[in-house]
Structure 1
Amino acid sequence: MPPAQQQYYGPPMQGPNQQTQQPFFQYSQCTGKKRALCSGQLNGCINDANNLKAFLMSHFGYREENIRLLTDDSRDPSRWPTRRNILEHMQWLVRDAQPNDSFFFHYSGHGGQTKDLNGDEADGYDEVIYPVDHQAAGHIVDDLMHDIMVRPLPPGCRITAIFDSCHSGSALDLPYVYSTEGKIKEPNIAAEAGMGVMSAVTSYARGDIGGVFRSVTGLIKTASGSSQKAEQYARATKTSPADCISFSGCKDSQTSADTQVANRATGAMSFAFVQALKRNPRQSYQQLLLSIRDILRNGGYGQKPQLSCSHPMDTNIMFIA
C-alpha cells in the first residue's frame, strides 16, 4: 500500500527566511470521499462510461449517487457531454478536495491535438478532447483540464484519470511519464535542477503564476533545444504535491481503437483497464501498465497505453482508487 507520510525528493534547498525546503508530495490512502465522472460519446463510448461506473461501484466502493455520467443519449440535457457540462462537472468532481479523497475521471470519445501556445509540450502540440458541441463551442485543451482537476488538489488527495481517446498520452498534462520498467522516461528535472525549479514549484503551489514565470525564465534561457525547454517548463509548472495518476489509451502520436465484446462496441483501452483489474485486483502501477499493454497487444492493437503522474512515484506500490 502507498505510504501515508509525505514523500520528499530532490536536494534540500535554501528558501525564504533561510528555511530549508524540499519538493514533496503525498500519496492518497483513498479512505475519504469518493467521486467519479464518466463521459462517453457514440455507442461504444457510452458503453464504456456505463461499464466504468459499474466497475467502480463493484471493485472500489464508489456509491452510485457520487458518480455522474455524461452521455449523448441522456434524456437530461444537463448530462450531455457538451463543453459547458464537461467543464462544470470537472469542477464538481474535485470540489472541497481533502487529503485521502479519491476522485476518478474517465473520458471515452474523440481526442486530438492543437498547437501548443505556452511551450510546455515537447512535440509542440497540446492534447485536446472534443465535446459533442465542439464545432460550435470548441475543444477542451489539456492545460485547462490540468488547471481544473489537478491544480486545486491538496497533498494526499487522489485523482485517477482514464483517457480512452486518440492522442491522449499526456491529456492531463502530468509531467512524469513512466516506462513499463517503472522508470521515468525523461530526466527528472525537478529533482536534479537547482533553486529555479524549486522556486517555480513552490510558486505554482501558492498560486503565484507571476513567480512561476519569473523562475522559469532562467531555466528556459539555459536549456538547449525546444524539447528540453518544454520538459523543464512542464516539470516546473505542472508538478503537484497531490496524488494525480493518468492511464491513457495511447501515445500522443497514436490513435486509440475500438473493439467488440459480446457483440457490443467498447473502447479498447477502457476494456483492457477493467479486464486487467478483474483478472488481478491487486497489482502495482507497473504491473497494471504491463497488464493493460499485454491485453491490447494480444488483441492485435498497436497502441501503447501510457502511465503518467503529477510527481515522481514508486511504481511498485499497489494501485488503489
Structure 2
Amino acid sequence: MFKDTKFKPMKKSIIFFIVAVFSLTSVFAEKYALIIAIGEYDQSLTGWYPISAQNDVPLIEHALADLGFEETNVMFLTDADATKEGIMNAMNELYSKVEPGDHVVIHYSGHGHQIFDDNGDEIDGLDEALVSYDAPMNMTEGYDGSLHFRDDELGEMINKFRIKLGPSGHILLFLDSCHSGTGTRGAAKVRGGAPPLVPENWTPQAKSDDKVGFGINSDQGSNARGVSTENLAKFVVFSGASANELNYETYDDEDNAVGSLSYCIYKAFSQMQEGETYRQVFAKIMAEMATKAPFQNPAIEGDIDYVVFGGDYSIQEEYFSLTNVKSDSIVEINGGRLAGINPGTIIAFAQPGTAKLTDYSNVIVTGKVTSASNFTSKVVLDNKNKFKNDQSAWAFIQTRTFTDQKVKISLDPKMDEDVKVALEDEIAHSSFATVSDDNPDITLNYRKSRGAKTINVTDAHYNQNLHKISNADTKTLKADVMSTLNNYAQGIIIKDIDFYDENFDVVMELIPVKAEIYEDGSFEILYYPEPESILVNEIPEFSTSNMALIKVTNYGTRKAYFNIIDIQPDGFINPVIPTVYDVDGREYYLEPGETAVLKNTLVMFGPPYGNEIFKLIATDKPFNLSATIQSHGNSTRGDASNIFENALQVQNGQNSRGASTVSAKKRDEKMCTYEYTFKIIE
C-alpha cells in the first residue's frame, strides 16, 4: 500500500510533464523565415531584365510581423547573393536552425521559367523553375539546367523540412513568379515570360506512352520513405499564377511597383482573423488579386483547411465560384448539372472564406437557378446586388436536385419508430429520394442488437446487399444513410451521362504493374507485366493482388481537361482523379495527340467484386467533381486519395480502386465521356 501511494504521485508528475512539453512545443514554437528577392538581374550576363522584387521585401516583412515572426529569425537573400548555390546554402542554413514543431515561411520574388525536364516527370516535358541570379534566359550549347532551381529540387528541400518539423510544424511557400508563359498580355512588367529553355531539336519525353504526367515525380518523396504522412509538417504553397499563366507586377498603396502576390499576401494576412484557415486567407488573396491583377489566377495547394499555424482541421463545405457577373440581378457560377444543380436549385451567396452555412450571418443574397449546363448555371438573384467581381462571393447550395426521377426507398416495417420518423422526415426534404413501397429501388432493412442500430442498404430489384451502416446514435445513423443514398443517386446520374464531341475525344485504359508501397504512401514501380496478362476473354480482369496505372490519350483536336469517376459494381461511386486535394483540377489535361501514364496514381483492387467502370469525362475547362461526390456512409473502401499535397508534388499517394471499352456516341457542346469496363475477382 505504501508503494502504491508513493508511486501514484510520481506517475501523475510524469504524465503532467509530458503533456506540458507537448503544449509548450505548440505554444512556443519558433517561427523562421527566408525571403529571397531577385530584382537586379544582370541582363548583359543572363538576358533577364530587372524587376521590382526589392519592393516586395517590406511587404513580406510586414506580413511576417503580423504572424508573430521576430526580426532576428528572418533571413534575407537578395540579388547577386541569390545564385543557385546561394539559394541552396541559405535553405540549408535555415534548415539547420529549425526544430520539430517550428513554423517556417519561404518567400521567393523573382523571374520564373520553364526548362526542359530532366527526369520525365512532366506531361509537357518541361520543369517549372525559379530563376536564380546566375541562371540564363536563353539556351546555350551544353547547358544542363544546373543554374535553375527546378521544382523537383525545391520539392526535395521542402520534404526535408517537413520531416524535421514533424506533425506539429508548418511550412509555407510563397512563389511570386511566373510558372510559365510565352508572351505578355499587357503593359505591366512580367516576372518571367521568356520562352521555355530547351535544347535545339528538343522533343518532350512526356509525350511518349511510358512517361508520368502532370508534373508528379514518381521518385519524389524518397527522402521521406519510412516516415508516415502523419508525421510530416503541414505544407501550403501560395503561387502568384497558375500553370501556363504570367505573373504581373502591380502597384502598392504608395504607388511602388511590386509583385502582385506579395502585395496581396501583405493585405490578406493583415486582415486575417484568429482561427482562419489557409483557404480562408487565400480567399482574401483572390479578392485582392481580382482588382490588382485581374488577368491571372493565383493558386493554392496543400493542407489548406488547417488553421494558419495551428493544428485544428476545418471541414470546408462545398462551394462554387462566380464566373460571370452579368448584371445586378443575374450571375453565373461554375457548377451545373453534374454537381446536382438544376433549374429551381436555391443558391446562397456568402462572403469569400465562409467555411459553412451554419448560420446566415455571412449570406449576401440568395437566388434561384433558371438554367444549367453540365458545368455552369445561371442564377437570378432574389434581390438586386452589385458584385464587384468574380471573387466577391462564394456560392453554396441550399437545395440540390440531381434528377427529376427520385430514388424510391422502402423502409423496413420493423424499424424503431424514432429511426423511421427521422429517415422519413429527411428523405421527404431531400431532392433525390422519396419513400415508396411501390416498386422501390432501395430497401432499408433494419435490426437492433445490444444497443447498436444497423441498416442494410439493399438493391430491391436484385435483393443484393449494397452497404451496411451501424451506429447507436439515431442522428449519426440517419446522416450516414442519407449520405449513402445521395451517393447512390449520384451514381445513377454519372453512369447515364453519355456524350461525344470529337474535339475532346479522350480515352483511357489500365496498365498492370508491380509496385512496392512505402509507409509514407509513396510507391515505386518495380516492373510492368505483359498487358495481355490481365485479359480473360478480351475483358480486363483484376484480383486483389493486382495493381495498375492509368493511361490516358487525347485523340481530339482540342486541349482537354478530364476527371475519372469509379462506378462500383454495387452502383456507388468514388472520385479517382482529381481528388479534393487538387482544388480545381487544372493539372489534369492533355493537348491534342498526347498520351500520358499517370504514375502518381496507383490503382489497387478490392471488394465489392464484379464488373466495374472507370468513367472519364473530358471538357474544355478545368473542373473537379470530387467535392460534389458524396461519400457513402461510414465506409472506408475506395480511399481515392492520390494526395496531391502541394504544387511542387513533393509526395505521391495511392488510389485504392476499379474490357472491352464502350465509347459514348451522343453529342454535346464541349464535352465527351468514355467508359472503361473491367472485372474485379477475389
Name the structure 1 match of 2:53.
45
Q: Secondary structure at the match of 1:230?
A: coil
Distance in structure 1 (CA, Å) of the matches to 2:127 and 2:265: 24
Give the alignment partner of residue 272 of structure 2, picking from 267, 270, 280: 280
SS of 1:94's equivalent?
helix
Distance in 2 separating the partners of 1:101 and 1:235: 28
In the alignment, the residues of structure 2 paired with residue 113 and residue 132 of structure 1 have an alpha-carbon distance, to the nearest angstrom, of: 16
Q: Distance in 2 between matches of 1:308 and 1:108?
A: 18
Question: What percentage of aligned pairs have identical amino acids?
Answer: 26
Q: Given the alignment of the two structures, is residue 35 of structure 1 paired with residue 35 of structure 2, yes or no?
A: no
CA distance in 1, matches of 2:176, 2:74: 18
CA contact (8 A) 1:30 1:158 kept: no
Partner of 2:526: none
- In the aligned structure 2, how far is the partner of 1:232 from the partner of 1:267? 25
C-alpha deviation, 1:232, in angstroms: 9.6
Equivalent position of 1:319 in the other structure:
308
Size of the alignment, in residue pairs? 228
Q: How does 1:215-294 map to 2 (within 5 A)?
A: 229-230=212-213, 234=217, 237-238=220-221, 241-261=232-252, 262-282=254-274, 283-294=276-287
Deviation at 1:168, TM superposition (A): 7.1
Deviations 1:205-245 (A, max 9, x none): xxxxxxxxxxxxxxxxxxx9678x33595477348533221
- Deviation string 1:133-177 (CA, Å, 9 cap, x unpaired) is 2239721111111222323532323211100001179xxxxxxxx
Q: Gaps (5+ residues) in structure 1?
A: 1-27, 170-223
Aligned pairs for 1:303-318 (under 5 A) are 303-309=296-302, 313=303, 315-318=304-307
In structure 2, the CA distance between the partners of 1:316 and 1:142, relative to structure 1 (3 Å rule), is: closer
* Runs (5+) with no aligned partner, structure 2: 1-24, 40-50, 137-142, 182-207, 311-682
Is the Cα–Cα contact under 8 Å of residues 94 and 149 in structure 1 kept in the other structure? no
Measure the CA separation in 1 of the matches of 2:215 and 2:257: 40
For 2:277 and 2:210, the matched residues in 1 are separated by: 34
Match of 1:144 in 2: 153
Match of 1:107 in 2: 108
Residue 56 (structure 1) aligns with: 64
Counterpart secondary structure, 1:68: strand
What is the CA–CA distance in structure 1 between the aligned matches of 2:277 and 2:30, rounded to whole Å? Answer: 23
Deviations 1:98-130 (A, max 9, x none): 331111100001011112222332333211111
Opposite residue 35 of structure 1, the aligned amino acid is Y
Does the Cα contact within 8 Å between 1:258 and 1:266 map onto a contact in 2?
yes
- How far apart are the structure 1 equivalents of 2:209 and 2:278? 32
When normalised by structure 1's length, the TM-score is 0.63
Q: C-alpha separation between the residues in 2 aligned to 1:292 and 1:34? A: 22
C-alpha distance 300-63 of structure 1, shift in aligned 2 (>3 A): closer
Considering Cα pairs closer than 8 Å and 6+ residues apart, tell me whether 1 or 2 has the greater RCO: 1
- Residues 114 and 125 in structure 1, CA contact (< 8 A), matched pair in contact too: yes
Pick closer, same or farther for the CA change 1:110–1:150 going to 2, 3 Å: same
Partners of 1:129 and 1:141 within 8 A in 2: yes
CA-to-aligned-CA distance 1:46-91 (integer Å, 9 cap, x gap):
111232123212x12211111111123xxxx7xx222221110011
Give distance in 2, aligned partners of 1:112 and 1:281: 35
Aligned AA (1:101): D
Show the counterpart of 1:164: 176
> Counterpart of 1:276 in structure 2: which amino acid?
A
* Partner SS, residue 129 of structure 2: strand
Higher strand residue share = 2
**Take 1:150 and 1:302, find their aligned partners in 2: how far apart are those partners?**
32
1:259 deviation in Å?
Answer: 0.8
Q: Is the 8 A contact 1:101 1:158 kept in 2?
A: yes
Q: Structure 2 counterpart of 1:237, which letter?
A: Q
Structure 2 contact 260–293 (Cα < 8 Å) conserved: no
Q: Indicate conservation of the 8 Å contact 2:62/2:266, yes or no.
A: no
Q: Larger C-alpha radius of gyration, 1 or 2?
A: 2
- The change in CA–CA distance for 1:95 and 1:284 in structure 2 (over 3 A counts) is same
Distance between the aligned counterparts of 1:168 and 1:100, measured in 2?
Answer: 34
Distance 1:166 1:231, change over 3 A: closer
Change (3 A) 1:295 1:168: farther
Task: Give me the whole-angstrom Cα distance separating, in 2, the residues matched to 1:232 and 1:38.
Answer: 25
2:82 is equivalent to residue 81 of structure 1: yes
Between the aligned partners of 2:171 and 2:73, the Cα distance in structure 1 is 14
Is the alpha carbon distance of 1:41 and 1:56 closer, same or farther for their aligned partners in structure 2, counting shifts above 3 Å?
Answer: same
CA distance in 2, matches of 1:123, 1:288: 31
Secondary structure of the residue that 1:237 maps to in structure 2?
coil
